Structure 1
Amino acid sequence: MAKRPQLTGRAAVLAVVVCAIAMSLAYPIREYVAQRRQIVQLEQQKARELAAIRALEEERSRLQDPGYIKRQARERLFYCDPGQKCYVVMNDQPPQGKKGTAGEKKAARPPWYQTLWESVEAADTGKGTKAAEAKG
């Protein structure tokens, strides 16, 4: 009894055909997946843009209300109606959390052009600048 070969001609042809079909389908499937991903991204972008449009429409409707405009003018620009007395209270104390008082002065810093000129002169003479000498 003769042994049959494990790989027959028909099986080889079938394997080649299956590989050819798989290779021919690989590119279209990859493009399909890429297009689906792009569609999802575009839908997300559309949702963000629609939310922005809704917010702008709400802002527009608020700006068409004369009461809102008056309120904003009073709050932001300190406007008053004619004949009305308005007061602005100035705070004598600095806000909490800020260091220093109004009487303290920061260390005087020379203007940038003076620092630049001193560095040019120092490079010419081979010496350091006043700022560099003060740091060192």
Structure 2
Amino acid sequence: MVPSKPRRSAPKSAPGKAAPRRRPKPVIEADATSEARGRRMSWRTGLFLLVIAIVLFAFLSPLNSALKQAQQIAALNNEIETTKAEVKSLEEKNENLKDADYIKRKAREDQYYVEEGKNAVIVTNQESGDAESEAERPTRKQAWYLELLESIQETGNTVEKN
């Protein structure tokens, strides 16, 4: 006899013994309770979710107040910048008020003061429009209040028809 190739693994059963037969598992209808049990959360998952919820609630309130405080700080910084700009303009105005020429010019423009020896002329009822600007203005065929009255009457008539 010629030796055959060596086996790579040991036989599953002893020589001369038959391999045990596996029986198929009987088909049993699953209970509704066993399905529900499979879908339910385990107590570890529930505990984990509870811990996550507690941590979120613990950090949510301080985080919210921190955001509000940051917004308030930003608003106050904007107010500070606005106030600084206002202070700067007032300081410039104060410097201008120390200048005699500026005071004379402002007195002439705002208060209509006149230097000694000069005559002041104040023109009232001055026409500011040119002939060109009057030509560009639309002309009405009648007074505005009559046009308004006609418009209201037309609107009233259309409402009554509906």
Q: How does 1:13-24 map to 2 (within 5 A)?
A: 13-24=47-58
**1:11 alignment partner in structure 2:** 45
Deviations 1:44-93 (A, max 9, x none): 11111111101100000000112211222233334344xx41111243x6
Q: How does 1:39-58 map to 2 (within 5 A)?
A: 39-58=73-92
2:126 maps to 1:95: yes
Q: How does 1:1-136 map to 2 (within 5 A)?
A: 5-6=38-39, 7-81=41-115, 84-91=116-123, 94-96=125-127
Letter in 2 for 1:45: E
Which structure 2 residue ranges, 5 or more long, are not aligned? Answer: 1-33, 129-162
Letter in 2 for 1:36: A
SS of the equivalent of 1:39 reads helix
Deviations 1:86-132 (A, max 9, x none): 111243x62227xxxxxxxxxxxxxxxxxxxxxxxxxxxxxxxxxxx
Q: Which structure would you say has the larger Rg?
A: 2
> Is the Cα contact below 8 Å between 2:114 and 2:120 reproduced in 1?
no
SS of the equivalent of 1:85 reads coil
Higher-RCO chain (CA-CA 8 Å, sequence separation at least 6)? 1
List structure 1 runs of 4+ shifted beyond 4 angstroms.
Answer: none
Residues paired across the two proteins, number:
94
Letter in 2 for 1:89: V
- How far apart are the structure 2 equivalents of 1:50 and 1:43? 10
Alpha-carbon RMSD across the aligned residues, in angstroms, is 2.6
TM-score, normalised by the number of residues in structure 2: 0.50
